[in-house]
A and B are shown apart, each in its own frame.
Chain A
Amino acid sequence: MMIESTGQKVLKVLLYVFLIITAAIMLLPFLWMLSASLKQDRDVFTFPIQWIPAEPEWANYSRIWTQIPLLTYILNTVKLTIIVTLLQLFTSSFAAYAFSKLRFKGRNALFLGYIATIAVPWQAYMVPQFMMLRSMGLNNTHLAIIILQAFSAFGVFMMKQFYEGVPTELCEAARIDGMTEYGIYARIMLPLAKPALSTLTIFTFVNTWNDFLGPYIYLTRDQLKTIQLGLRSFIGQYSSEYGLIMAGSVVTMIPVIAVFLALQKYFVEGVASSGLKG
């Protein structure tokens, strides 16, 4: 592996060509979004596509802050996202430990039931759920959104799959050393599950951040609304002002990208950080 042969060099070139093409395909729509966000509305959908606007319309970015209470929406979303993500991380990683490393009665049935409910589309039980939460006095509260988002089967399933990759011998050894199950969870599993935890953090963060339907049904008061609601009401009201819509889309994307960048180094620091090499 030390000496690179010509074949490997060719392979490497091909690899980069592939990566650059892939990156372009991934990035192109966002470049368009960025370029559209700097255009006047009438120029957004013109052909051929003009990638660099002749006169950048920077005003789109200042207008979105004044057209809707964007700052309130962002603060609400940040609050909800942080609470949901923390709850989700804790409850999922906790429950997944039992599903993966403990044997108990009804485990498989319970687990399958958990997974299966993911398959039920929200549209089907939204009305009963809404009536239930409203009768509990949770309509127009952030608590409703937290409750809906924080206890998902998805997180449990994901964490369980990662735990299964951790050798059972580690747990056994800890048990012999007199550690309780809670201790094993906290001191052995969690540190090892860093890549999975950071992945789950990102997914939960993105989901909560981008969630539209939940807030749409439960949050009708302006001071409670989230950023996606803002963006959609924006699109509804300024449906012809695509420059503005794109500017809003760009702004709402930035926090998620930031979180991704902050967490992505953990994807590569796992049980065995050397991984697969050349």
Chain B
Amino acid sequence: MFSRKEKEGPAFTANGLPIDRSIRIEKSQAARRAEVNRNLVAYSFIAPNFIGFAVFTLVPIVFAFALAFLNWNGNTEMTWAGLDNFKYIFTNEMFLASLKNTFVYTIGTVPLTLVVSLFLAIVLNQKVRGRNFFRTVSFFPYVGSLVAITAVWNMLFNPSMGPVNEILIRLGVENPPRWIADNDWAMFTIVLFSVWKYMGYYMVIYLAGLQGINSELYEAASIDGVNTWQKFWYVTLPQLKNTTFFILIMLTIQCFKVYDIVYMLAGAGSGALSEATTVLVYEIYNSAFRYWRLGVASAEALVLFAIVLVVTIVQFRLDKD
């Protein structure tokens, strides 16, 4: 089977990449047989991950989506709900507020994290003294236990006694913001925290991406006499396209699924998020594990899923162009 495939080598060259220079082939019978083979080989690559993923993740997810149309408390009999769960959530003001807040959070966090982490990666990819130290330090916030670092963060941004506000007062700010305690500043504080926590993580991905850039491209650019900025714009950025695409999608998904950061920062004290800070997954958590309305939780998750799917497809389309 493999020997035949080798003879038909060229049939395997296509890869569907935007930059690919694939060879178009005529579809003959041999090619069709080759296609079956090609599919089988490809499936054999995917199988180990896909089977585990399908059985243990996909099945429960499909089950959960079916639940969106049912009423269930996890134990007693399920009853048909039709679209009731959806009607309920779209008239529930906390859910609507959580939709809005999640969008605001995502729009605030994604571009900022993307830019900062890229900048950091480029700086730390250069031969600077103490590079390893700086890289390791930027990764700290991602690694630290959330309980500990949110405690510190809340301490630093304490409205009345925190060092951040102390500095602001010394700098002449008369009424420094009350950060997480103020509805108008809470989301901004959470975004700030998220950027801080995740920029080191995405910097690492960018760093790995930067290693994939062929140095000849830079040499060629140098011979053409372009400046640093042009090099960045015309060489680095296009070459990092795949990495940026990956980060963009992962970051967007991560932001839409934000929960524990918000809960630990804004929910401290009373244990409840207000209309100003509630996010989608908090509502899902409440529906599922505080109220045990699993159907409602599934409906909410389905809405989240649909949004992220649309955003992801749009991003995929943009990537293809």
A and B touch in the complex (CB under 8 A): yes
* A residues in contact (CB < 8 Å) with B: 1, 15-16, 18-19, 22-23, 25-30, 32-33, 36, 45, 47-49, 90-92, 94-95, 97-105, 107-108, 110, 112, 114-121, 123-129, 132-133, 147-148, 150-158, 161-162, 164-166, 168, 171-172, 175-176, 178-181, 185, 195-196, 198-199, 202-203, 206, 210, 228, 231-232, 235, 242, 245-246, 249, 252-253, 256-257, 260-261, 264, 267-278
Question: Of A119, A171, A275, which is within 8 A of B213 by CB?
Answer: A275
Classify the secondary structure of A's interface with B.
helix
* B residues in contact (CB < 8 Å) with A: 2, 5-6, 9-10, 12-17, 20-21, 35, 38-39, 41-43, 45-50, 52-53, 56-61, 63-64, 67, 74, 120, 122-123, 125-130, 132-145, 147-149, 151-153, 155-156, 158, 161-163, 166, 196, 200-201, 204-205, 207-216, 218, 222, 231, 236, 239, 242-243, 245-246, 249-250, 253, 256-257, 259, 280-281, 284-285, 288-289, 294, 297-298, 300-301, 304-305, 308-309, 312-313, 316
Q: Give the distance to chain A from B192, nearest Cβ to Cβ, in Å.
A: 11
Residues on the A chain within 8 Å of B136, using CB: 257, 260-261, 264
Question: Of B49, B153, B253, B305, which is within 8 A of A94 by CB?
Answer: B49
Is there contact, CB below 8 Å, between A272 and B211?
Answer: yes
Is there contact, CB below 8 Å, between B45 and A97?
Answer: yes
- Inter-chain CA distance A150–B52, complex, in Å, is 8
Classify the secondary structure of B's interface with A.
helix
Is there contact, CB below 8 Å, between B301 and A124?
Answer: yes
A-B interface, 7 closest residue pairs, ranked by CB to CB distance from nearest: A270-B211, A124-B301, A151-B52, A119-B308, A98-B45, A104-B42, A91-B49
The residue in chain B whose Cβ has the minimal distance to the Cβ of A11 is B228
Residues on the A chain within 8 Å of B129, using CB: 16
- Inter-chain CA distance A189–B21, complex, in Å, is 19
Is there contact, CB below 8 Å, between A162 and B212?
Answer: yes
The residue in chain A whose Cβ has the minimal distance to the Cβ of B43 is A104
- Inter-chain CA distance A157–B58, complex, in Å, is 16
Residues on the B chain within 8 Å of A257, using CB: 136, 139-140, 143
Is there contact, CB below 8 Å, between A45 and B155?
Answer: yes
Q: Give the distance to chain B from A199, nearest Cβ to Cβ, in Å.
A: 4
Residues on the A chain within 8 Å of B57, using CB: 117, 125, 129, 148, 151
- Inter-chain CA distance A18–B196, complex, in Å, is 15
Which one of B301, B304, B313 has the greatest number of beta carbons of chain A within 10 Å? B301
Q: Give the distance to chain A from B152, nearest Cβ to Cβ, in Å.
A: 4
Question: Of A171, A196, A231, which is within 8 A of B145 by CB?
Answer: A231
Residues on the B chain within 8 Å of A121, using CB: 257, 259, 280-281, 284, 301, 304
Residues on the A chain within 8 Å of B42, using CB: 98, 102-104, 107
- Inter-chain CA distance A267–B135, complex, in Å, is 11
Residues on the B chain within 8 Å of A125, using CB: 57, 60-61, 63-64, 301
The residue in chain B whose Cβ has the minimal distance to the Cβ of A29 is B152
Residues on the B chain within 8 Å of A256, using CB: 143
CB contact under 8 A between A252 and B48, given known A119-B308, A151-B56: no
Residues on the B chain within 8 Å of A278, using CB: 126-127
Residues on the B chain within 8 Å of A115, using CB: 249, 253, 312
Q: Give the distance to chain B from A30, nearest Cβ to Cβ, in Å.
A: 6
CB contact under 8 A between A112 and B145, given known A102-B12, A123-B285, A132-B60: no
Question: Of A91, A104, A127, A153, which is within 8 A of B39 by CB?
Answer: A104
Q: Give the distance to chain B from A229, nearest Cβ to Cβ, in Å.
A: 12
Is there contact, CB below 8 Å, between B152 and A276?
Answer: no
Q: Give the distance to chain A from B43, nearest Cβ to Cβ, in Å.
A: 7
- Inter-chain CA distance A156–B49, complex, in Å, is 8
The residue in chain A whose Cβ has the minimal distance to the Cβ of B8 is A175
Is there contact, CB below 8 Å, between A153 and B305?
Answer: no
CB contact under 8 A between A47 and B139, given known A18-B123, A165-B212, A252-B145: no
